[in-house]
Structure 1
Amino acid sequence: MVNYIIFGVSISVISWMVGIIFNSILVKTKYYERLSHMNFIDSKILNKYLGLKYFKWIVKNTFFKYFNQKIQLRNGKADLAEVRKEMTYAETSHLIGFIFVGVFAIYWSVTRSFLFGFIIMIANTLMNLYPSLLQQENKRRIDKLIKNQ
């Protein structure tokens, strides 16, 4: 079971690099503009039930806060459009990583065991889907700030 968890976390970390690579290709296409405005969950209530508030606290108060320094607002001096662009890039990279690991999880569920695939998807959800949902929520907040400027 511990090996399943280690594998799930490892493949999720590897998926970050896969997401960045494929996103750098995708950003050059005409479809990327549509991706910058997608929202999976608009409801604040549903985000609350999913525990996004707690995930946000973890990101802000642990070593994860050092991962992407480009998407932080410091003393109100940041270019909001550039921060939003970086958020979109991070969000899309995590979504690509989520899909990548999802394929592995399905494969391992069929070839090894359902439990193995399930544990991989738990790690994948925490390390790819939740960061993407958090970026979407933050983009909505940034959009309000941009609109008020």
Structure 2
Amino acid sequence: MVYKYLTFSISIAIISWIVGMTINAILRKTAFYEKKLSNLNFIKSEKHNKIIGIGLFKWIVTNTFFKFFNQKLKLKKKIEKTDLYKLRNEMTISEIDHLIGFLFVTIFALVKLFNSQFLFGWTIMLVNIAMNLYPSLLQQENKRRIDQLLKRLS
């Protein structure tokens, strides 16, 4: 039974990536995106990121097959300021894609929880956190690092 819940959770999380990309493509054309969404920062402290395991998640992403998922998020050996702006923009797009996906999957989890299917709902949320929330938080951390580098280059 848990296998069925896990399979559904992974499937809906992957589908949420497509939903996130689609909705984000529409949102990018609005002023709201530039003013509000492009500068989100939920966890500002490196200490808090370390506590919740972003470092371990980062290691998993860089050292497993996940590193092949978004090739636009790679930094070249020679760093130019324009490349950093492009990279930051791609990170913002990826971050918002994952946040929209997180909200999409959260709806499914809440429906299961309200229907008293607690194990199913919590399984969905755990997979959702791993496949949508953590990637978004990792992008936020990387954007902060890029912002610091851009400040030093200016």
Band the TM-score falls in, shorter-chain normalisation: over 0.9
Residue 46 (structure 1) aligns with: 48
Q: Is structure 2 residue 13 aligned with structure 1 residue 9?
A: no
Q: Which range moves more in the overlay, 120-129 or 29-38?
A: 29-38
Alpha-carbon distance in 2 for matches of 1:55, 1:32: 27
Query: What's the secondary structure of 1:36's corresponding residue?
Result: helix
- Alpha-carbon offset, residue 128 of structure 1: 0.1
Normalized against structure 2, the TM-score is what?
0.94
Alpha-carbon distance in 2 for matches of 1:31, 1:87: 17
Residue 63 (structure 2) aligns with: 61
Q: How do residues 1-149 of structure 1 correspond to structure 2 at under 5 angstroms? A: 1-33=2-34, 34-77=36-79, 79-111=83-115, 113-149=117-153
Amino acid aligned to 1:115: L
Aligned length: 149
- Alpha-carbon offset, residue 38 of structure 1: 1.1
Query: What's the secondary structure of 2:78's corresponding residue?
Result: coil
- Alpha-carbon offset, residue 129 of structure 1: 0.1
Identity level (%): 55
- Alpha-carbon offset, residue 108 of structure 1: 1.6
Query: What's the secondary structure of 1:31's corresponding residue?
Result: helix
Normalized against structure 1, the TM-score is what?
0.97
Alpha-carbon distance in 2 for matches of 1:51, 1:77: 28
Q: Which range moves more in the overlay, 72-81 or 10-19?
A: 72-81
Query: What's the secondary structure of 2:42's corresponding residue?
Result: coil
Task: List runs of 5+ in structure 1 lacking aligned partners.
Answer: none
- Alpha-carbon offset, residue 109 of structure 1: 1.7
Structure 1 segments of 4 or more deviating over 3 A?
none
- Alpha-carbon offset, residue 112 of structure 1: 5.3
What is the CA deviation profile of residues 61-118 of structure 1, one whole-angstrom value per residue up to 9, with x for unaligned ones? 0011011111110203451000000000000000000000000110122225011000
Alpha-carbon distance in 2 for matches of 1:6, 1:18: 18
Task: List runs of 5+ in structure 2 lacking aligned partners.
Answer: none
Q: Which range moves more in the overlay, 92-101 or 111-120?
A: 111-120
Q: Which range moves more in the overlay, 72-81 or 37-46?
A: 72-81
